[in-house]
Each structure stands twice: as structure tokens, then as C-alpha cells.
């Protein structure tokens, strides 16, 4: 069985709940995918980590932030 990197314990240091982690990771993964598609159209290359893995790494590095509003997480 493969170990998850970064671990859930490490990720929880940057968010207030697992729900928040899922939401911000999904939003960032969509952004990563859009960027990769745009670069692929320009450079005709498709080399990057899986979007969700890249998003979780960014959360663990503290590069992804969020703020809670009445409408939801932004």
C-alpha cells in the first residue's frame, strides 16, 4: 500500500476541517488543470503531476490559502 504524501495530519495544520481541505484542493486542482491545458495548447507538451497531487502539495507548502465567507469558501 502506498503512503500518501503529504499526510492528512500534515495537511490539517493548514485548514480548519477536512471539508475545507477537499474544497480548496478541488478548486486548486481545477486551476492546475486549466493552466496545463493552456500550456499544452501553446507548447504542445503535457507533462505535469496529477492535478490533485499538485494541489495537495501546494496546500502542504502553505501556498494555498482560503477565507470563509457567508457564501462559502473563497
User: Hey, what's the cell of 60?
Assistant: 502542504
Whole-number Å distance between alpha carbons of 63 and 23: 15
pLDDT by 10-residue block (mean), the chain, 74 residues? 74 92 94 84 59 90 85 72
Count other Cβ atoms within 10 Å, centred on residue 36. Answer: 17
For residue 19, the model assigns a pLDDT of 93
For residue 47, the model assigns a pLDDT of 52
Amino acid at each position: 500500500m502506498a503512503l500518501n504524501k503529504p499526510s492528512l495530519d500534515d495537511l490539517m495544520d493548514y485548514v480548519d476541517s477536512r471539508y475545507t481541505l477537499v474544497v480548496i484542493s478541488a478548486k486548486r486542482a481545477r486551476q492546475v488543470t486549466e493552466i496545463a491545458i493552456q500550456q499544452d495548447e501553446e507548447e504542445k507538451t503535457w507533462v505535469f503531476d496529477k492535478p490533485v497531487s499538485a494541489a495537495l502539495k501546494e496546500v502542504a507548502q502553505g501556498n494555498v490559502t482560503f477565507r470563509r465567507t457567508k457564501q462559502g469558501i473563497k
